[in-house]
Each structure stands twice: as C-alpha cells, then as structure tokens.
Amino acid sequence: MFDKVTALSIESLAKTSSGKLIAMISSDLFAVERLFSFASLIVVSPICNLFTFLYVGSKFGWIPALIVLGCCVVSFSFQILAGHF
C-alpha cells in the first residue's frame, strides 16, 4: 500500500484525485483484512478435524472414523478443484 503511493511522482500525486488514492488504500486494507479473517480457520480447521477423527474412532470404532476421514479428504479435494474454476 505504502509502496504504491510512494511510487507515484509528485506530478502524479497532484493529478491523482484523493478519491483514487483512498480507493487504492482501501482495496489493500481489504485484502489484508480478508487474509486475517481466514488465517484463524487455517489454523483451527486441522485441529477440529483431528479431534473429530479421534472422537468418532473412540465412540464408534476406527472403520467409521476412516470413512469420515475419507469423506473429509474427498470434500477438501472438491473444494480445491472448485477453487480453480
């Protein structure tokens, strides 16, 4: 964000409206905010999946736990594929 503004020359800064500068800064801040909102999910999700696998395995047996694990792997694979389209 700062690099974009400092890369502009004095003439460009004079010609660029304040609204455009605010829009540039706002879009960069939104990208950073979006990254931080998903960062906690990236950390917590594998831990939740591990505890779910262990819980299902201890309560219902390890065969159903492996089925749940397989469903998670298939689901994650589809999510990754869907993200590329």
Highest mean pLDDT among 10-19, 31-40, 74-83: 74-83
Q: Residue 38: pLDDT band by 50, 70, 90 thresholds?
A: confident
Is 58 in contact with 31 (CB distance < 8 Å)?
Answer: no
Is the pTM of the predicted complex or chain greater than 0.75? no
Report the domain count for the chain. Answer: 1
Query: Cα(63)–Cα(45) distance, rounded to whole angstroms?
Result: 22
Q: Which amino acid is at 25?
A: I
Query: Cα(54)–Cα(20) distance, rounded to whole angstroms?
Result: 52
For residue 16, the tally of other CB atoms under 10 A from its CB is: 13
- Look at residue 21 and tell me whether its pLDDT is greater than 90: no
- Average pLDDT of the chain? 82
Q: Residue 13: pLDDT band by 50, 70, 90 thresholds?
A: low
Domain span holding position 45: 2-83
